[in-house]
Chains A and B, each alone.
Chain A
């Protein structure tokens, strides 16, 4: 059983290494092609019950 867990943990470590080396899942999600413009759409969710325009 310990061998099985060692194999599982080795795979987890390799997976974490793969994600780290390839910068997977860390890039800024709001990035868009410049021609599409920013995500500015006039709605802002802010503060404790505070809302912008």
Chain B
């Protein structure tokens, strides 16, 4: 129910009924039926006509009322503007409250901005894109400059609109706030606005049909992440440090204790039926044992058969390959493979064990003459692998980063460019 007093007249040109709700500062009534502009101060005489003005889609209608910021406003006028450069169009609804005066509700491709005229001037020069200035105790960033033309009017306005009236607009944003300077041939107005969610507008004015969802990103639209994305980010902020601590704990406690280290000459493990045998002692059979092989091979490969024995009885065997190739090609150095190999295994109980190793190898593409390189063997017990906590840490860190990623993507859409974070 509107708090404004409703009067009505008939259009003095076409006799269509026109409602009057707009208060004493209304200068003109624009007939939506015939396009006549009536002078509110002179017996509603016809001043001019808006010719061939195509009626735009109006999700909200004249006379609709609702509370915005706890103030009851009624829609009394509609004006459509066209961007001079990209020819896009948007609607400005003129709102009236008997207690709080006039305000604007912009509707631009599903986005809504509620703004009011202010007397606060900016404390900086708004001449360059993205430069900052302060107004109404907020820091704004210059967002856009453009010219717009009036293409359609209906209802009551506080001035007499001219078809193709031009206005030069300068906008600064501090989402959800927007500060606008509108300059016409006659005056300059300063407006301070706030972005409003279309669902909120729908709840306020209760239109007959649901409002359309916004398209794209509006300059003053605040970034509100999807609840799931927000949840991922929040949970990631908690779990990433947990995973980091767990990973560090495992790295610290699970790096193990060396139980064997030796360098085996090539003669001992190459072409020797008996292989090279070494003994080692395990004291912690509950955790993994790590075998590390290193050979300084150069453009060669080595294949190592390894047997683990207990009481001179073989427990199990395994094979490890070391292959390392390098060179220079097309002006660039390249290398492939590695000079080391690692194996993790478990031993059944504490005690003495033996390791027996045989080797063979080759160089180049076809030569099967093994390169006579020494083989370093290291055995470490008490190993706890940290890879799962590392994966977890990376995953959680990515979730934290995803918040920033989605925000950056939103900002790029806001600014219409690709070079801003």
Contact = CB atoms under 8 A, between A and B. Distances in A.
Contact of A47 (B238, B317, B336): B336
A13 B242 contact: yes
Interface string A16-32: 11011001001110111
A20 B239 contact: no
Contacts of B236: 9
B305 A28 contact: no
Contacts, number: 138
A32 B308 CA distance: 11
B392 interface: yes
A48 B228 CA distance: 46
Interface string B369-410: 000000000000000111111011001100000000000000
Contact of B344 (A5, A8, A26): A26
Given A20-B250, A31-B318, A5 B234 contact: yes
Nearest to A7: B235
A23 to B, nearest CB: 6
Contacts of A48: 325, 334, 336
Contacts of B325: 46-48, 50
Nearest to B386: A20
Interface string B233-249: 01110110011001000
Contacts of B351: none
Interface residues of B, number: 58
Contact of A19 (B227, B242, B309, B388): B388
B316 interface: yes
Contacts of A33: 316-317
Contacts of B361: 52
B299 A16 contact: no
A23 B319 contact: no
B320 interface: yes
Contacts of B385: 20, 23, 26
Given A5-B228, A52-B368, A27 B362 contact: no
A46 B323 contact: yes
Given A4-B231, A48-B336, A53-B362, A30 B320 contact: yes
Nearest to A33: B316
B303 interface: yes
Contacts of A4: 231
Given A5-B232, A27-B345, A46-B362, A34 B315 contact: yes
B346 interface: yes
A37 to B, nearest CB: 7
B365 A51 contact: yes
Contact of A50 (B227, B301, B306, B318): B301
Given A20-B388, A26-B387, 5 more contacts: A5-B232, A8-B235, A9-B236, A23-B344, A50-B325
5 contacts: A2-B235, A6-B231, A17-B388, A26-B387, A28-B344
Interface of B: 227-228, 230-232, 234-236, 238-239, 242-243, 246, 250, 287-288, 291, 299, 301, 303, 305-309, 314-321, 323, 325, 334, 336-337, 343-346, 361-362, 364-366, 368, 384-389, 391-392, 395-396
